Amino acid sequence: MTERISSSTLEIKDLDVSFIQGEKEANALRGISLSLKRKEVHSLVGESGSGKTVTSTCIMGLLPPQVARINRGEIFLGEQNILALEEKDQRKIRGKEIAMVFQEPARYLNPTLKVGEQITEMLRLHLGMDKGEAVTRALEILDLVGLDGGKRILGSYPHELSGGMKQRIMIAIAISCDPSFLIADEPTTALDVTLQLQILNLILSLKNRLDMGILFISHDLRVVRDISDWISVIYAGRIVESASKEELFSNPRHPYTRMLFESIPDADKRGKRLKAIPGKVPDAENIPQGCAFHPRCPIAEEICGSNQPETKDVESNSALDSHTAACHLIGKQWKN
Amino acid sequence: MEKLIELKNIEKVFKSHKLISVKKDDYVAVKNVSLDIEKNTIFGLVGESGCGKTTLARSVMLLDPPGSGEILFNGTNIAALSGKDLKPYRARMQIVFQDPNSALNPKMSVYNCMKEGLVNIRYPRDKIRFRINELLDLVGISPGHAERFPHEFSGGQKQRIVIARALSMEPEFLVLDEPVSNLDVSIQAQIINLLLDLKDEFSLTYLFISHDLNLVSYLSDQVAVMYKGQIVESAETEKIMESPLHPYTLRLFSSAPGQEKNELFEAEEGYSDGLPDGFTYFPPCAESLLRLIDTGDGHKVGCYAFNGS
């Protein structure tokens, strides 16, 4: 086996990414910073088009080079800036140190290869195992992700498996090289509720067993509430608020976060109108001046339309945790 | 309360059409479903994907007429009608689909797309434009955008247009098949509020189909839980949320994200804890028919073996 670099943090600093198509430039990420420790679940919550998936693909180095441009920013794995590495060295990290689970397993598994080949490919490539060793290890991993009948599964093609099983296979491939960090990009969105719970429980148990740090990307606040330690809320390519789970749910400070919480229907709100956020998410080509949320914000003032708010520390309920938000009007009275 | 829709023993079987195969491979998508929907209420239908929710909805709309069973609309069995007799009922019930992208023809402007239905019901031609503008205004789309094409609108706006089109027939009954599942969180609330407003304004009756329990429990007056083509439990929303009886309902409710007790419920054989006497649910045997039994106050539970008391 090759020597391992075990890194304890994954840190994104001021990442700014654009997609360029002809004359048009879509500024998908506009200076994102977040840090992820091992054994921690850090969730990135946002609506579609807010830049969640661009963040994850950028970490994995999977952005299409023809159209994507990284304007600035760094991604540190331990001490190493992985964006500055050569493709050849990046490839050593990708899949081994940082692995990823995608939303739709059916699209990311190769339909023409047996599942066994897809799992052992990783082991042979990254850990230099021979075929026999790799199969033994693959069987262990299948057991770990809760799939019985290992030999039979290794010999089957993806279409022979159910959606939940495919997602377990994706997770098996991701954890096969014992990564320090796992990026889970909406891993349960395509699944039914009962399956969703099984997969979430699996991800949490694997985190504890393998001491992984997990970047969990989702649009579903309820799921995020169940599994996260730390939550960052992303809107139009910027992180608008970031705090520990307890702090964020008890004391949301950014108007967007507050309104997002209020707009979720549940049984307690029966008979009352939902407080909907007016307007729609801006697309990355036409992000409003100043604070991107100001056209939809109920308390916006003149300054919000002209100056982009800095990310500031705000008062936290718990003295231990920091709580940051990017809004000019944090102290302003919020009326319902 | 007056019943608007009554379903009696609806069954839908999809036959396999293999040319040479001798093997019969029929798939029973909806099995023996009976339910009543009262006027001006929202009836929520929940279940996992593949349980037959959408098939049932399409059967009710007579888009895929059921194999057997009765659909009573205001007391008339519309499943037995055809052709000319059925036409007036078609306009009185409308459906809003999950994905507005595939529900709108990309080659037709919003105006043309909405005009079709009105022409079909012989709406006075000179008033059509006025009517379409009125409907678009109602759902929050600027009437000035009527000449635009579907791709020029966002997902939420497209869903509004689909709702406006359904309303153009002045229906009494609207089937909403996962109308917000494809939309962003912040847009979902807008559409839900719109649906609630419209219900009050036109005294509509909804059959709301969803897999999202939190949403259904927020909206509905009645909830039915569907599992493998059958209704396993149905009751008023408060009742079913407070005291779900069927093991499958329990499992579904406890797996919904955001629940405190988030444990996977494993149904055991002969599970009967905390249930009225005479009930045993499992193991469900393939031949026996699931019967809905009233435990009082309209709370019905599906039961395979009822010892009769």
| Same domain? B54 vs B117 | yes
CB contact under 8 A, A260 and B193: no
B45 pLDDT above the threshold of 90: yes
Lowest-pLDDT range, A1-5, A96-100, A108-112, B211-215? A1-5
Q: Note whether B154 contacts A193, CB cutoff 8 Å.
A: no
Question: Cβ–Cβ of B264/A201 closer than 8 Å?
Answer: yes
Q: Residue B267's pLDDT is what?
A: 39
Burial tier of B101 (Cβ tally within 10 Å: 0-12, 13-18, 19+): middle
The whole-chain average pLDDT of chain A stands at 88
The pLDDT, as a whole number, for residue B306 is: 47
Q: Decide if pLDDT at B209 tops 90.
A: yes
Q: Which residue spans of chain A are classified as CATH 3.40.50.300?
A: 9-228
B252 touching A, CB under 8 A?
A: yes
Q: Which of B187, B193, B214 sits opposite A267 (nearest CB)?
A: B214
Looking at chain A, which runs of residues are DSSP E strands? 9-21, 24-37, 41-45, 68-77, 80-81, 98-101, 181-185, 213-218, 230-235, 238-244, 312-313, 324-325
> What angle in degrees, to the nearest 10, is found between the helix axes of A163-175 and A193-210?
10
Nearest to A332 by CA among A307, A298, A305: A298
B152 in the same domain as B106: yes
Residue B29 in this model has a pLDDT that exceeds 60: yes
Residue of B184, B210, B242, B254 to mutate for A, most A C-beta atoms under 10 A? B184
Q: For B68-79, what is each residue's pLDDT tens digit?
A: 999 999 989 998
Is the Cβ–Cβ distance between B79 and B66 less than 8 Å?
Answer: yes
Please indicate, yes or no, whether residues B259 and B189 belong to a single structural domain of this protein. Answer: no
Q: Tell me, rounded to whole angstroms, the distance of Cα A242 from its chain centroid.
A: 14
Whether B233 maps to a domain, the answer reads no
B282 and B204 co-located in one domain: no
> Which structural domain, as residue segments, surrounds residue B149?
3-228
The reply to whether B162 falls in a domain is: yes
The CA–CA distances, whole Å, from B11 to B55, B61, B66 equal 10, 14, 6
Beta bridge partner(s), residue A11:
A35, A76
Q: Which residue has the tokens 């299409």?
A: A64
Partners of residue B213 in chain A, C-beta under 8 Å: 193
B67 and B155 together in one domain: yes
Question: Within a domain: residue B282?
Answer: yes
> Which whole number is the average pLDDT over B2-29?
81
Residue A105's CB: how many other CB atoms inside 10 A? 23
At A334 the pLDDT is 67
The answer on B256 and B135 residing in a single domain is no
Q: Which residues pair with B210 in a beta bridge?
A: B46
- Which of B193, B228, B263 terminates a domain? The answer is B228
For chain B, how many structural domains are there in total?
2
A275 with B189: Cβ contact below 8 A? yes
- At B95-119, the pLDDT tens digits run 998 888 889 999 999 999 999 999 9
pLDDT at B66 over 70: yes
Residue B307 has a pLDDT of 40
Contact residues, A window 163-202, toward B, CB-based 8 Å cutoff? 192-194, 196-198, 200-201
Among residues B173, B200, B228, the one where a domain terminates is B228
Structural domain A9-228, CATH architecture: 3-Layer(aba) Sandwich (3.40)
CA distance from start to end of chain B? 29
Rounded to the nearest angstrom, the gap between the alpha carbon of residue A89 and the centroid of all alpha carbons in its chain is 23
Q: What is the ipTM of this complex?
A: 0.78
Q: How far apart are CA B223 and CA B245, in angstroms?
A: 13
- Residues 141-160, chain B: which have Cβ within 8 Å of A? 154, 156-157
**Distance set, CA A129 to CA A120, A122, A133, A135, A176 (Å):** 9, 9, 6, 9, 12
Examine residue B183 and state whether it is found in any structural domain, yes or no: yes
Q: Taking the alpha carbons of A53, A55, A61, A66 in that order, is the dihedral positive or negative?
A: positive
Q: B235 in a domain, yes or no?
A: no
**Looking at the predicted structure, is the pLDDT value of residue A72 above 60?**
yes
Phi then psi for B238, rounded to 5 degrees? -55, -45
Out of A47, A201, A273, name the one closest to residue B184 (CB). Answer: A47
Instruction: Answer yes or no: is B38 within a domain.
Output: yes
Residue A276 pLDDT grade (very low, low, confident, very high; cuts 50, 70, 90): confident
Confidence of residue B211 (pLDDT cuts 50, 70, 90): confident
Sign, Cα dihedral of A53, A56, A59, A65: negative
| Domain finish residue from B180, B203, B228 | B228
Distance CA B169, CA B167 (A): 5
More confident residue, A132 or B254: A132
* Contact (Cβ atoms closer than 8 angstroms) between residue B1 and residue B41: yes
* B15 and B162 belong to one structural domain: yes
